[in-house]
Amino acid sequence: MANGFKYGGYMGQLLRVNLINRTVSKEPLREDWARDFVGGAGLAARILYEELPPKIDPLGPENKLVMMTGPVNGTIIPAASRTAICAKSPYTKSFFHSIFGGFLGPELKFAGYDGLIVEGRASSPVYIWIDDDHVEVRDAAHLWGKDPFKAQEILRKEIGDEEIHIATIGLAGEEKAPYAMILCDIRAAGRGGMGAVMGSKNLKAIAVRGTGGVTVPNILRVYNTALKLNQLVATVPAVQGLSKYGTPRNVAAMNEGGILPTRNWQTEVFKGMKDITGEVMREKVVKGDRACFACSINCTKYSVVPKGKYKAVINGVDYETIYGFGSICEVDNIEALCKADELCDHYGLDLISTALCIAWAMECYEKGIFTKEDTDGIELKFGNVDGMLQMIEKIGKREGLGALLAKGTREAAQIVGKDSYRFTVENKGLEWPGHTCRPFPAAAVGYATGPRGGSHHDIRPTAEKSGLVDRRTLEGKGALAAEVNHWLILCDSMLLCHLGEPIWGPLRISDNTIEALNAVTGWELDYEGARKIAERQWNIIRCFSAREGFTREDDRLPVRFMEEPVPEGPMKGSCIPKETLERLKDDYYAYRGWDLKTGNPTKEKLIELGLDFAIKDVC
């Protein structure tokens, strides 16, 4: 295998860059950690648990930024091209993995590395240039202040290679806005403020060129596995539609089902839905389709608004844009949503958090908490398209009310007071994505206990949304949430795309997932073996949070979800009252073997999983 590493799929080494003294070192990947934590989020969590002291400032030089690949990255396995960027989050204050698609992860492996660890803080703006074996820290003063796409353009030109892949931050990251994202070519590591961590290090960009390949133990087995998986991608009904319509394929269906979050989650039916569907997007703005490395799903849409005040060129919009700036802000103009998407990219902002912050401000305005004096004259009502776009700019520049909203809804509500926390929609500080849990108990407990909070990638409501599992009962929902956690975290360590959910899940780790991992690494894991790895990964992340001081009390839902039933539509009356949530948490902790009082893993569980080293921190 590569570099004499014991297992297939791995490059066998990590790259470490210290920005204080601008040194670069290469170190062997620990074989035991690869076997126990695989890669991606799982391996990054293990590394950061080891290397970060508890309770450090996420924006201080002690924090480390880890870009991690997985063993399947860079092979011909489809829907396996994602990359994890991990750190202690300035937004959620615990371990965070932000995952993006595209080409960067495979390219890093082709350069010869399973991952990159960035530590310290440069004294002035820099970028990291990785060119196979040659790695250097270069001056980036000329890139500072540039938007991510412009910075990428300059770098490709000055390096003289159009094929390099680049992760960059925008103004929000440079200014350490806590929900700043990282733009990786055209894809975003959007959530959790990883862009702020990068900015705190004075690190503008990471550019990668690799010319090697990935070695596997049995190429015929990998070929046959890829063939089978591509066949599934082409035929499994629940995957269809992504190629043509992208992730917005289900906007109209969700609205019909009464689960399209609307008006800052005051309701889940949007009357203006018909103008912002995937079908409308395809007809009006989509000009082409793009795929990630070796992926046959082809879900990214290239869209253009050629003229007018919403003129924009974007890769999207995705469902989350339509949810966030569409139904949540009650905007029914697809061209304006393209503009909102473009502005978030321009400033380097996580669009979900940006949208939810603006929707919260709209509700504050309509309830009289904010006036035109607060909004610099903007009548910030739901449905005010141009007001919404102006607010994105204000957040990006941290001007006026934008400076408050750039802090996120949790902190903004604490500053504003007046019970405005009652209509913040976040957990652990992270604003909610566009997937409800009010009618879905397993999803509710999954969101509440998720390490990232408002993330639909720690839990998926799909089993309950599709009727595969009865959404009306509470029994067994703790177990379901835990097993969904497991297939998700295993995917996030292999860097498999969650859009392949029917193939990789959806109820538990699937045989397809295990076969992909076995084929590439040469392992012969059975279901129990794969599940144990995933359980270990989930527990090390929980230990990280526990060490930071998180407890059962932090496993919450927004007040709105507990106290305000859905007011209309087919899910009318749905909500998760606090006592129901607490019962679900008991069920979930008990299934996991966690302490019911603290929500922490028990000593016995940690020993069982080989995480003995964490006992002193959390038990």
Partner 1 sequence: MARVKVKSFSVIRDVLGASVVEIDVVHPETVGGLFEALVQKYGPAFKNRIWDPNTGEMVPFLMKLNEETIISSTSDLDKEIQDGDEIVIIFPIGGG
Residues of this chain that interact with partner 1 (CB under 8 A) are 231-232, 235-238, 240-241, 244-250, 252-254, 256-259, 277-279, 299, 318-320, 433-435, 456, 460, 462, 465-468, 470, 498-499, 501-502, 569-572
SS3 78: coil
Nearer to partner 1, 351 or 543 (CB): 351
CA 394 to chain centre: 24
Residues 280 and 267: their CA atoms lie apart, in Å, by 23
Instruction: Find out whether 426 and 432 touch, Cβ atoms under 8 Å.
Output: yes
Nearer to partner 1, 383 or 502 (CB): 502
Nearest distance, CB of residue 295 and partner 1, angstroms: 14
Nearest distance, CB of residue 554 and partner 1, angstroms: 24
Nearest distance, CB of residue 323 and partner 1, angstroms: 9
Nearest distance, CB of residue 210 and partner 1, angstroms: 28
State the DSSP code for 306: -
State the DSSP code for 30: P
Residues 137 and 16: their CA atoms lie apart, in Å, by 11
Give me 272's structure tokens.
């203006």
State the DSSP code for 504: H
Nearer to partner 1, 164 or 459 (CB): 459
Nearer to partner 1, 208 or 566 (CB): 566
Nearer to partner 1, 410 or 465 (CB): 465
One-letter identity of residue 294: A
Q: For residue 415, with 0-12 CB atoms within 10 Å meaning exposed, 13-18 middle and 19 or more buried, which class applies?
A: exposed
Nearer to partner 1, 278 or 429 (CB): 278
SS3 99: strand
Phi, psi of 226 (to 5 degrees): -60, -40
Q: Where are the beta strands (DSSP E) in 407-535?
A: 426-427, 430-431
Nearest distance, CB of residue 242 and partner 1, angstroms: 9
Instruction: Find out whether 463 and 488 touch, Cβ atoms under 8 Å.
Output: no
Nearest distance, CB of residue 467 and partner 1, angstroms: 3
Residues linked to residue 165 through DSSP beta bridges, in sequence order: 208
Nearer to partner 1, 549 or 570 (CB): 570
Nearest distance, CB of residue 107 and partner 1, angstroms: 23
Nearer to partner 1, 320 or 492 (CB): 320
Nearer to partner 1, 111 or 349 (CB): 349
Nearest distance, CB of residue 334 and partner 1, angstroms: 16
Nearest distance, CB of residue 400 and partner 1, angstroms: 31
Which CB contacts under 8 angstroms, 24+ apart, belong to 411-419? 412/357, 412/360, 413/360, 416/364, 416/369, 418/369
- How many Å from the N-terminal Cα to the C-terminal Cα in the chain? 39
Nearest distance, CB of residue 282 and partner 1, angstroms: 10
Sheet harboring 300-305: ordered strands across? 286-290, 300-305, 312-315
Instruction: Find out whether 508 and 486 touch, Cβ atoms under 8 Å.
Output: yes
Residues 439 and 504: their CA atoms lie apart, in Å, by 24
Nearer to partner 1, 245 or 382 (CB): 245
